[in-house]
Chains A and B, each alone.
Chain A
Amino acid sequence: MQALPEVKVVNITRRFGKKILAVDNVSLQIHDKEYFSLLGPSGCGKTTLLRMIAGLVEPSEGEVYIDNKLVNKLPPEDRGIGFVFQTYALFPHMDVWDNVTYGPRVKAWEENRSESIGREMLEMVHLYGRKDALPHELSGGMMQRVALSRALAAGAKLLLLDEPLGALDAKIRFELRYDLRRLVKDLGLTAIHVTHDQGEAMAISDRIAVMKKGRILQVGTPQDLYTNPQHIFVANFIGENIFLEGHVIKTTDHRVQIELRGGLTASGSDTSVKEGERVVLAVRPETFTIEKGYTRKADSLLGVVERVRYEGTNIRYEVRLANEDMVVVVRPSLMEEWFNTGDKVTVSFPSEKSYVFPYPSRGLREELAVE
C-alpha cells in the first residue's frame, strides 16, 4: 500500500515581479518516509519550490499541505521542518554546540532533553569532539554535517535540503550523499533534496521530479527516468543520449521505422508518432555495440572512428556516420576489443532501448538547453 502523502503542493505558482515566473502551476505529492529529489538546471525554480514548502517564500497561487494540513498561512517555525541551506547558514557567533542545540532551545525543550539530543546528533555526525569550535574553524564537510545535525536536532520529521552537497569537493560529496540517505532512512524521515546534479539525485532518491523553467516535466523513480524518459529534455538531462534527426517512414505496433539524414534507416520504440512526422531518435551511448568492418543488418549504422577516449572504467568512441552525424559509443574498457582512430566500424543498438520523440517545435537545441 502506498504511504500517505507527507507533502502535497497543488497548482502552486510563484512570480517575482511581473516578468519572472519562477514556479509555474506545479502539483506534486511526496510520500511519508520518502527520499524525494527536485532535479533541474540552475534557475529552473526548484529552490523556490522548496522555499515555498518551507514557508520562506509565499506562493503567488496554489496550496501547500504538510501532513494533510494546509500550511499556506503557517510561518516556517510552525511547519515542523528542518532546512539545510546551500551555504549551511551556521550562525557565525555561536559555536557548534550552540548551533546544534538552537532548535531545542527556541522550542523550550527541557534542558536535559536538549543536551542529550545535541550530543546524540553531534555523535551521529562524528563531530562531538568539535562542539566548542566556531563555524569558521570547520571544513566544508564538517559545516555540512553540523548544518544537518542542527536541522535534525530540532526534531523535524520533514527534512528540506537545498543543494546540501553543492559546496563540497567531489570526493566528500560522493561519500556524504550515501551517509545522507542512510541517515534519513535510519531516522524514518521524509526528505526533499534539491540538486542540479543528476548523478547525486539518481544515487540517493526514491523518486525524482525533473524541472525546467518552473515546470515539472516528469516524476519517477531513478530507473523510470533513465529507462523511460517521457520528455526529450529528461532523456538528455538524466544520463546521456545521442540524438539523431529523421522522419517516420513506417509504424507498427511498438516500432517506428525512421529514415535518418542521408538515407540511413533505424528503428525505435514509440506509439505516439505518425508516418511522415519529423522526429528525434534518442539512443544511450552504452546501449550501442560496436564491431570492426561494415556489416549491414537491422538497426545498425556504418561509420569511421574519429576519436577514442580512455576514461578508466569505460572507453568512449566518437564515430562519424556516413551522413556526417556523430554518435558516441561507450563500452567497458577491460571487457572488449579496442578500436583505433580511422577504423571502419558498424554500430548497432537494440530498438527497444531507444526512444522516439516528436521534433520539438522550438528546435532541438532550444529544447535541450539547460539555461
Chain B
Amino acid sequence: MGEIFQDPGLMARASSAIYASFAIALCVASLDLVVGLPFAWFVARGRSRWLNIIDTLADLPFIIPTVTLGYSLLVFWNRSEGVSQFFGGNPLVSEGWLLIALLHFAFSFPAVVRVIVGAILDYRVVYEEAARTLGAAPLTADRTVTLPILKSSLIAAFVLAFSRSLSETGATVIVAGAFETGVVFINNTRVQHEGSMVFVSLILILTASLLYLVIRLLGPRFKVPVKRVWPYAERKLGGFKMRVSRDSLASLIFFMFVLIPSLFIVLPVVGALTNGTVNQAIGGIGVWQGYWQSLLLSYSVAVVVTALNVLLSLPMAVLIARKRWGAGASTALDVLSNVPLIVPSIALGASMAIFWESFAFIPEVALIIFAHMSITYPYFVRAMVGAVERVTMDLEEASRTLGARPFAVFRTIILPLTKYSLFAGIIMMFARSVDETGATLAVVSNLKTAPVLLVGWVNDLERGAMSASNVALGAGVLVMFSFIILLVLRLAVRGRY
C-alpha cells in the first residue's frame, strides 16, 4: 500500500477519484430524493388502478443486471443507435461523470422509490387529515406534518442511494470512459497497483462509514423546517393543476431518465420475434443452451436468499430500531450493517472469493447464496429500521400486557404495522439478488446465473460475436419474468384490483 504515498501522481489520481465518487453519490442521492419523493407520492396516493403497473415498472431498473443496464445506458445516451441519432449522430452524453451520474440515478431511483412508497403506505394518514381540518393546504400538510414524520425513511432512502452510487462497479466502468471515480480507479489499478486498490477501498469504506455515523447521530436531531408557512404559495403549488404537473414531471423524468434508457437494450427484441431468435431460445439452441438453467438458478437463488435474509435481518432491524442493546450499540450495528452496501462490489467480490476459498467443501450454489445474502442484507435492514422506529413502543407494551410473548408481539404487532416496508425490503432483496453480477462473478467457477451469462453476451456483442437480438431477448426474458413476479407480489400485498 506504501507505493501510493511514494507516487504523487497516483495519489492525485486516487484523491480526485475519491472526491468524484462522493460528489456524484451526493448529487445522485439528492436528485433521487427530489424526484423520487413526488413520484413515490404519486404512486402511493394515486387512485388509478394502473399505478400498480407503474409501481412495478419502477422496480425494473433494479432487476436488470447492472452491467447490462450500464451497456443499455451507454447505447441510449452515447451511441448512434440511441437518442444521439436525433442530434446528428454525435454522442449526446459523452462517457464520463455525467453518464455515470445518469447511470447511478437510473439504478438507485427504484430503491429510493421503494423505501418511500413503503413508508407512505405505512404512515397513519390521520395526522395529515388533522392538518387539513386546521386549514392547511395539501402541500402545507405534506411539508409540515407528513414529511417530518417520514424523516427516518427519507434518510434511509438517501443512505441507500448514496451507498449504491458509491460502490457500484461493473456498470460504472462501462460508462466512465477516461473519467475515474473511486471504483473505476480500483478497477484500473487492481492488477498493477494492488496496494492502491486497497488504499482507495479503505478510504471509501471509512469515509462513508464516518458519514453514516454522522447521519445516524445527527439525523434524529435534524428538524425539518415547519415553522414557516407560505399558505398562498403552497395552496397554489398544491392545486390540482400543479399537482398534475408535478406528477407528470416526476413521471416524465422516470420514463426519460430511468425506464427507457434502462430498457433500451431490450428494444431489438422486436427483431428477435421475427428473425427466428425466439425459436432458438425456446428450443435452447446455440447460445441459448444453458440460458434457461441460468434463469432458473437466478430465481431459485433469489427466493432462497430473500427467505433466509428475512429471517436473519428482521431481528437485526428490530435490534437497531428498538436500541435493545443501548443507543451506542444500536448506532454501531446500524453503521456496520451498511458496510456491504458501501464496499465497492468489485472489492466485495474479491473479499468474498478469498474468504470462501478456504471452505472448499462448500458447494458453488451455496457460495452464490452466501454472496447474495451479504449484498442484499443491508437493503432489508435499511427499509425495516425506519418502519419499526415509527411503531410506537406503547403498542408493543400494550401487546405484552395482554399476555403476548416477544415473538407474538413481533408477529402480531410489528409485522402487520410495517408490512409495506417489509414488502419493500423483500422486493429490493429479491430484485438485487436477481441482478447481482460483480460478486457472483468472483465466487463462481462453473455455475452461471442469468446476469453472469448476460455479461458474457454483452462482451461478445461488443466484440461483434453476438447478435443484438439475442442480448435483447435474453435481457428481455429476465425483465419480463421479474416484472410478472413483482407485479403478482404487489397485487397480493396491496390488493388494489
Contacts and interface: CB of A to CB of B under 8 A. Distances in A.
Contacts of B136: 77, 102, 106
Given A105-B229, A106-B229, A92 B149 contact: yes
Contacts of B231: 106-108
Nearest to B140: A106
Interface residues of B, number: 26
B229 A83 contact: no
Contact of A102 (B131, B149, B223): B131
Given A107-B231, A108-B229, A56 B132 contact: yes
Contacts of B229: 105-106, 108
Nearest to B127: A89
Interface in B74-130: 126-127, 129-130
Given A75-B138, A87-B126, A107-B231, A93 B226 contact: yes
B134 A85 contact: no
A293 to B, nearest CB: 51
A103 interface: yes
Given A75-B138, A93-B226, A106 B131 contact: yes
Interface residues of A, number: 29
Given A93-B226, A98-B227, A106 B135 contact: yes
Interface string A57-95: 000000000000000000111010111010101011110
Nearest to B148: A93
Nearest to A81: B133
A105 B228 CA distance: 8
B65 to A, nearest CB: 41
A154 B130 CA distance: 11
Nearest to B132: A76
Contacts of B135: 77, 103, 106-107, 154
A85 B130 CA distance: 8
A91 B132 contact: no
Interface in A92-146: 92-94, 98, 102-103, 105-108, 136
Nearest to A104: B135
A103 B133 CA distance: 9
A151 B133 contact: yes
A150 interface: yes
A234 interface: no
Interface in B221-262: 223-224, 226-227, 229-232
Nearest to B230: A108
A54 interface: yes
A94 B134 CA distance: 15
A152 B298 CA distance: 60
A77 B132 CA distance: 5
Nearest to B138: A75
A104 to B, nearest CB: 8
Interface string B261-301: 00000000000000000000000000000000000000000
B14 interface: no
Contacts of B230: 108
B145 interface: yes
Given A89-B126, A93-B226, 17 more contacts: A56-B133, A75-B132, A76-B129, A76-B133, A81-B133, A83-B129, A91-B131, A91-B149, A92-B149, A94-B226, A98-B226, A102-B136, A103-B134, A106-B137, A106-B229, A154-B135, A160-B133
**4 closest A-B pairs by CB:** A83-B133, A89-B130, A103-B134, A106-B136
Interface of B: 126-127, 129-138, 140, 144-145, 148-149, 223-224, 226-227, 229-232, 392
20 contacts: A75-B132, A75-B138, A77-B132, A77-B134, A77-B135, A77-B137, A79-B133, A85-B129, A89-B126, A89-B130, A91-B149, A93-B223, A98-B226, A102-B136, A103-B135, A105-B227, A106-B134, A106-B140, A106-B144, A150-B134
